[in-house]
Structure 1
Amino acid sequence: MMDKDLKKLVKALRAAGYSVEETRRGHIRVSKDGRLLTTFSGTASDRRSLANGLAPLKRDGFQWPPRR
């Protein structure tokens, strides 16, 4: 089960054209054009895990948090 921050992120990723799928073990896999970019834990135990997962997405051009 995802927390609310991860749900918002998944929604924004799908809107930006990324492929997002949940594995059987609850992890979130993010890919684009057939290449895996990052994986998020469904239940993060580390406060840095979201930032560490976002790093490859930001290098790919994804903006988080979205600009207003």
Structure 2
Amino acid sequence: MASKEVKQLIKAIEKQGFRVRPTTKGHYQVYKGDAFVTVLPGTPSDHRSLKNSLTYLRRAGFQKPR
């Protein structure tokens, strides 16, 4: 189950036109159109993973809401 922070991020990502797909391992794959962007962590255990994913999202045009 995703953390509260990841759930909020997924909602914001989808509002900006990205597609989020859960994996069988509990992570979330993010696509912009047909292009793969990144994988979001399913748990908050690896804090760097979420920060790295945000970097890839920003490069793909995502603007994090304040």
TM-score w.r.t. structure 2 length?
0.91
Q: Which moved more, 1:55-64 or 1:29-38?
A: 55-64
The runs of at least 4 aligned residues of structure 1 exceeding 2 Å deviation read: none
Deviation of the 1:45 alpha carbon? 1.8
Unaligned runs of 5+ in 1: none
Of structures 1 and 2, the one scoring higher in RCO (CA 8 A, sep 6+) is 2
Give the aligned length: 66
Unaligned runs of 5+ in 2: none
Please, what is the CA RMSD of the aligned residues? 1.0
TM-score w.r.t. structure 1 length?
0.88
User: What percent identity do the matched residue pairs reach?
Assistant: 45
